[in-house]
Amino acid sequence: MSPILTLDQDALYQLSLYGKALRAQIAEEVEMLETDSRRIDAELEAEERALTQKRSEMIAADFAPLAAAFDKKAQDLRAQNAAAVEALRLKEQDGRKEFFTVAAQVLGDFMVERGAAAIIDKRAVIVSLRGLDVTDEVVTRIDDVLGDGTK
């Protein structure tokens, strides 16, 4: 037994059922957001073309409010899209924090069971023995405790 163990924190998250499930859910929501964004872009382009055609038929004073309303609509839709993207980023960030909160408890128990004094991130180690990396074992433990996050 070694007093120091290592693990790859990124791999711990990426390989866990929870991390996989959260990333899949986020990817699905991103795809839906992108699909909706493409639909909105197409609608805005069509509306802009129609507005451009009206421009030659209208006097500037009548056209200006229509153009301003279209511009505001486009800006509002872009702001909504940016807010939705940010909400997804925060959702993944919060899920990752939740994961590592549970992981810390599991890691503490695992460390005590193995008689280790510390578990450090593998990237902080310059040279080590292969047997010190406990990432796969801890992923299994965390999957048993947290599953895919739906428990």
What average pLDDT does the structure give for the chain? 92
pLDDT at residue 128 is higher than 80:
no
Query: Higher pLDDT residue, 128 or 34?
Result: 34
Do the domain assignments include residue 123? yes
Do the domain assignments include residue 151? no
Mean pLDDT, range 25-51, rounded to an integer = 94
Tell me the pLDDT band of 150, cut-offs 50, 70 and 90.
Answer: confident
Q: Which domain holds residue 85?
A: 4-146
Count of structural domains within the chain = 1
Any idea what the CATH number is for the domain that residue 135 is in?
A: 3.30.910
Q: How far is CA 37 from the centre of its chain?
A: 18
